[in-house]
Amino acid sequence: MKEIVIKDNESGKRFDKFLGQYLSKASSGFIYKMLRKKNITLNGKKATGQEKLQKGDIVVLWFSDDTFLKFANERLASAERGEGVNVSEFKKAYHNIKGVSVIYENKDVLFVNKPVGVLTQKAEQGDVSLNEWIVGYLLEMGVIDPESLITFRPSVSNRLDRNTSGIVICAKTLKGAQMMAKGLKERTFKKYYRTVVKGIIDKPEEITGYLTKDRKSNTVSVSQVKSDSSYIETAYSPVGINEKWQLTYLEVELRTGKTHQIRAHLASIGHPIIGDPKYGDEKINDTYKQTYGLKGQLLHCYRLEFPDDSEAFGDLSGKEIIAPLFSKFGNLIKDKFED
Residues 194, 157 within the same domain: no
Residues 75, 94 within the same domain: no
Mean pLDDT, residues 115-132 taken together: 93
- Low-confidence winner among 75-84, 121-130, 244-253, 281-290 (lowest mean pLDDT): 75-84
Mean pLDDT, residues 187-191 taken together: 95
Q: Which of 181, 208, 223 is the last residue of a domain?
A: 181
Average pLDDT, the chain: 93
Mean pLDDT, residues 32-52 taken together: 96
Mean pLDDT, residues 214-233 taken together: 88
**47, pLDDT greater than 70:** yes
Residues 165, 204 within the same domain: no
Share of the chain above pLDDT 90, in %: 79
More confident residue, 152 or 321: 321
Residues 174, 196 within the same domain: no
Give the pairing type, strands 230-242 and 165-171: unpaired
Q: Which domain holds residue 129?
A: 88-181
Residues 269, 170 within the same domain: no
- Low-confidence winner among 163-172, 203-212, 221-230, 289-298 (lowest mean pLDDT): 221-230
CA angle 325, 326, 327 (to 5 degrees): 120
More confident residue, 193 or 4: 193
Other Cβ atoms within 10 Å of 130 Cβ, number: 24
Q: Please, which pLDDT band fits residue 339 given cuts at 50, 70 and 90?
A: low
Residues 6, 94 within the same domain: no
pLDDT at residue 130, rounded to an integer: 97
pLDDT at residue 83, rounded to an integer: 72
Per-residue pLDDT reduced to its tens digit, 262-272: 999 999 999 99
Q: What are phi and psi of 149, to 5 degrees?
A: -75, -10
Residues 226, 327 within the same domain: yes
Q: Which of 80, 110, 134 is the last residue of a domain?
A: 80
Q: Which of 61, 80, 99 is the last residue of a domain?
A: 80
Mean pLDDT, residues 51-75 taken together: 91
CB 61, CB 76: distance < 8 Å: no
Per-residue pLDDT reduced to its tens digit, 247-283: 999 999 999 989 999 999 999 999 999 999 999 999 9
Residues 12, 133 within the same domain: no
Mean pLDDT, residues 21-34 taken together: 94
- Low-confidence winner among 65-74, 96-105, 170-179 (lowest mean pLDDT): 65-74
pLDDT at residue 11, rounded to an integer: 86
Q: What are phi and psi of 103, to 5 degrees?
A: -90, -45
Largest CA distance in the chain: 77
Please give the C-alpha separations between residue 204 and each of 160, 263, 279, in angstroms, as whole numbers.
Answer: 24, 17, 22
Indicate the number of domains in the chain: 3
Residues 332, 195 within the same domain: yes
Q: Please, which pLDDT band fits residue 217 given cuts at 50, 70 and 90?
A: confident
pLDDT at residue 125, rounded to an integer: 85
Q: Please, which pLDDT band fits residue 185 given cuts at 50, 70 and 90?
A: very high
pLDDT at residue 228, rounded to an integer: 79
CB 22, CB 4: distance < 8 Å: yes
Residues 160, 209 within the same domain: no
Residues 165, 243 within the same domain: no
CB 235, CB 287: distance < 8 Å: no
Beta strands in the chain (DSSP E): 2-5, 40-42, 45-46, 58-61, 101-105, 109-114, 155-156, 165-171, 190-198, 205-214, 219-223, 230-242, 247-254, 299-305, 320-322
Q: What is the rounded distance in angstroms from the CA atom of residue 91 to the CA atom of residue 139?
A: 8
Give pTM, 2 decimals. 0.86
Residues 204, 331 within the same domain: yes
Mean pLDDT, residues 4-21 taken together: 90
pLDDT at residue 86, rounded to an integer: 84
The CATH number assigned to the domain holding 123 equals: 3.30.2350.10
Cβ within 8 Å of residue 237, ≥6 positions away: 203, 204, 205, 250, 251
pLDDT at residue 137, rounded to an integer: 97
The CATH number assigned to the domain holding 62 equals: 3.10.290.10
Mean pLDDT, residues 300-305 taken together: 98
Mean pLDDT, residues 93-111 taken together: 96
